[in-house]
């Protein structure tokens, strides 16, 4: 009965707009904080890092949708996955543009020259380019054009994105020898990807029964 009630809430017409607004709030707060000079002594660095943090949080939620849907028997959760995926791209794009604006002053020649010089920028840019490909093919028309098999193969690159994002985060923290957050995210992603591997290795009958 409780599961049915949760399903009804998730299927409510206002559920998706509410999730949309909730995930827009961090951007609204950061915009306000930047305008009000409330980001501390180094606002540019604080903004860049905060946008990167929200990118990782959104990526965690995207990968969490399927385990929750399967283990809790809540198929309606799937309707939020695409929106959360777009938010990963949204915050990643703002993160990358903040670097371009504050570190490079929107001088594109300097950006092109800087990317191969700094490994953490290189892997971060590679992750963003993969996210761009996923965002560009997240619509139904793109799915039909690519075909289901090719679309699924392309969107499996989310696993490469996870690896690149963690490496980017690790190198960013390496300068200050602060790896606590990196370890937390690495553990979370390991569990989420490990669950998928476990599901793939399960016998077909057991895999079906676990959806119920």
Q: Which domain holds residue 109?
A: 2-209
33: Cβ contacts below 8 Å, ≥ 6 apart = 39
Residue 207 has pLDDT above 60, yes or no: no
Query: What would the pLDDT profile of 179-206 be if each residue is shown by its tens digit?
Result: 899 999 999 999 999 999 999 887 765 5
Query: What would the pLDDT profile of 2-43 be if each residue is shown by its tens digit?
Result: 888 999 999 999 999 999 999 999 999 999 999 999 999 899
For residue 208, what pLDDT is reported? 45
Q: Averaged over 73-92, what is the pLDDT?
A: 95
Tally of structural domains, the chain: 1
CB 127 within 8 A of CB 92: yes
Q: State how far the Cα of 211 lies from the Cα of 74, in Å rounded to an integer.
A: 9
pTM of the model: 0.92
Q: State how far the Cα of 158 lies from the Cα of 168, in Å rounded to an integer.
A: 15
Residue 50 has pLDDT above 50, yes or no: yes
For residue 142, what pLDDT is reported? 86
């Amino acid at each position: 009965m409780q599961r049915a009630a949760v399903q009804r809430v998730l299927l409510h017409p206002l559920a998706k707009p509410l999730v949309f607004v909730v995930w827009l709030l961090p951007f609204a707060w950061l915009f306000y904080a930047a305008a009000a000079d409330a980001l501390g002594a180094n606002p540019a660095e604080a903004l860049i890092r905060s946008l990167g943090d929200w990118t990782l949080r959104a990526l965690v939620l995207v990968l969490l949708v399927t385990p929750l849907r399967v283990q809790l028997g809540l198929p309606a959760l799937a309707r939020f996955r695409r929106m959360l995926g777009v938010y990963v791209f949204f915050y990643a794009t703002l993160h990358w543009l903040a670097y371009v604006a504050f570190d490079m002053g929107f001088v594109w020649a300097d950006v092109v020259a800087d990317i191969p010089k700094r490994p953490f920028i290189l892997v971060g840019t590679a992750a963003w380019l993969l996210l761009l490909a996923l965002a560009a093919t997240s619509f139904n028309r793109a799915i039909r054009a690519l075909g289901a098999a090719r679309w699924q193969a392309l969107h499996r690159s989310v696993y490469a994105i996870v690896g690149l994002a963690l490496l980017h985060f690790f190198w960013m923290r390496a300068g200050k020898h602060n790896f606590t957050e990196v370890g937390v995210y690495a553990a979370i992603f390991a569990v989420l990807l490990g669950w998928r591997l476990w599901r793939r290795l399960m016998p077909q009958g057991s895999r079906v029964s676990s959806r119920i």
